[in-house]
Amino acid sequence: MTSTFRTLTVPLDGKDFPGGLPAFLVRDDVLCWTRREAGLAGFGEIARFTATGPDRFLEADIWWRHLVLEAEVADSVELPGTGPVAFGSFAFSKTSAHESRLIVPEIAVGVRDGQVWLTQLTFDDGPLTEDTARAALDRWLRSVAAPSAAPPGRTTAAADPAGDGTLGAVATKGGGAVVRPLPLAAGATLHTGSLSEEAWMAAVEAGVAEIRTGALEKLVLARDVVATIPSGVHAADVLRELAARYRECWTYGVDGLVGATPEMLIQVEGRTAQARVLAGTLDRRDAHGEDGLPMDYATRVLAGSEKQRHEHEIAIQSLTTQLAPFSEAMNAHDEPFILELPNVWHLASDVKAELAEIEGHVPTCLALINALHPTAAVCGTPTQVAGALIRKLEHLDRGPYAGPVGWLDAAGNGEWGIALRGAVIESPDTVRLYAGCGIVDGSQPEAELAETWAKFRPMLESLGISS
Ligand SMILES: C=C(O[C@H]1C=CC=C(C(=O)O)[C@@H]1O)C(=O)O
């Protein structure tokens, strides 16, 4: 064993992988970040950083920069996400007991604009060649203990997906984009989490009362529910279902945290940073029975609502104000657009910034996250007041829910979503789901409760629980 960190990235033939990245989601311990056919998947673990507390982002940034500083990197692909990479998930709160983490995989597979690559990462001093990388990937894909027990009708993964020993067939047969009716998970039960529905609605009422005192403008209150699934929770099945159904979202899987988020906290590519800010939600089921086109209904109810626009404006303001000191130029849509997801519509705005050099360096994505998190989309405004009220009213350690989740590379590129519409797999048969709502003056507790159910739906469906 040497202490030298070495990586080798080689191209794979895109034609061999028509299913794209989701086809690699065949193991329950896969590290994953994917949208449509693109993304990154990681297998194994050669290094891990953990931290709690207010400095978790900066400590992780320092750890990662040290690790990659003297890395020996052979990379013939040279795209964001090639070379050294780590996957990460961070606690929402600086007071959380939950450990934030960066995980360096042994093998990473990436797909972007039809290009596919494979990276092997190691601290060993053995040979590092295209053959060792392909063999390592093959080993990870083949050592799936049992086909992740997908009930009939679900997209299925196989322990020996290729059957003929070729990597190409692995991806072809994995076929992540198939959407079929979901069978129900037999015997699944759903329990309230930290607060009963009544107690959570009382918390919303208390939040609205605080807003009316003028102490704050917006507050995001979340709650949890716990699902027990006797047949077991299979992360790979859940991830493939989410990736196939929520193609506009970023499907993530890091160490038992799984979900598909529509909200991009920050995506850094070279000197360009982008974010997708959401706030303002309408359950698509509310459009049933309404006259006219569903999208016209969504535009009328969301874009035409003072309350929703106010909530959205606060979220945009919070992001752009925090991003401004790191940017030379920034642009955001003047008008929010309607983002259509299978479960809800959102008011959405995309923000793009040209990053400034600060003391000769473009800020890394973790440095940006340190400044941006928590945004008003998941905390409130002003941040400190909202954060204190969340701790008082929610009676919940949010853990990684609503914290940043994503990946980064050695060049400082990365994609970090906000871990929404997700859950933590707490044991082989238990999952804790989280959802929250922006509360402003005029918020109705019953309506907010209904909104949490709409936001639980992606996870409930992927787990095979009817909703
Ligand atoms: C806090 C969540 O959603 C946020 C993101 C989009 C829309 C939101 C809203 O309309 O309340 C929330 O701010 C969640 O999904 O748990």
- Identify whether the C-beta of residue 104 lies closer than 8 Å to the C-beta of residue 84: yes
Residues 390, 396, 397, 398: is their CA dihedral positive or negative?
A: negative
pLDDT number for residue 287: 86
Nearest 5°: phi and psi at 145?
A: -60, -45
* The ligand 1 atom nearest the CA atom of 401: 16
All domains in the chain, ordered by first residue: 6-174 (no CATH), 189-462 (3.60.120.10)
**ipTM of predicted complex:** 0.99
Report which protein residue has its CA nearest ligand 1's atom 2. Answer: 436
Residues shown for the chain: 467
- Is 263 catalytic? The answer is yes
**Of 311 and 197, more confident:** 197
- Which of 37, 59, 217, 218 is labelled catalytic? 218
Radius of gyration of the chain (CA): 22
Give the pLDDT confidence of 198-228 residue by residue, as tens digits: 999 999 999 999 999 999 999 999 999 999 9
- Is 218 catalytic? The answer is yes
| Range of weakest confidence among 133-137, 141-145, 233-237 | 141-145
pLDDT number for residue 182: 55
Instruction: State the pLDDT confidence band at 138, using cuts at 50, 70 and 90.
Output: very high
Give the pLDDT confidence of 80-134 residue by residue, as tens digits: 999 999 999 999 999 999 999 999 999 999 999 989 999 999 999 999 999 999 9
Question: How many whole angstroms separate alpha carbon 55 and alpha carbon 52?
Answer: 8
Above 90 in pLDDT, residue 164? no
* The ligand 1 atom nearest the CA atom of 418: 5
> Within 10 Å of residue 213's Cβ, how many Cβ atoms?
7
Above 50 in pLDDT, residue 148? no
Q: Which pTM value belongs to this model?
A: 0.92
Give the pLDDT confidence of 275-316 residue by residue, as tens digits: 999 989 999 998 888 888 999 999 999 999 988 898 888 889
Q: Smallest Cα–Cα separation from 73: which of 14, 138, 5? A: 5
pLDDT number for residue 171: 31
Above 50 in pLDDT, residue 157? no
What average pLDDT does the segment 40-64 reach? Answer: 98
Tokens 């198939």: give the residue: 178
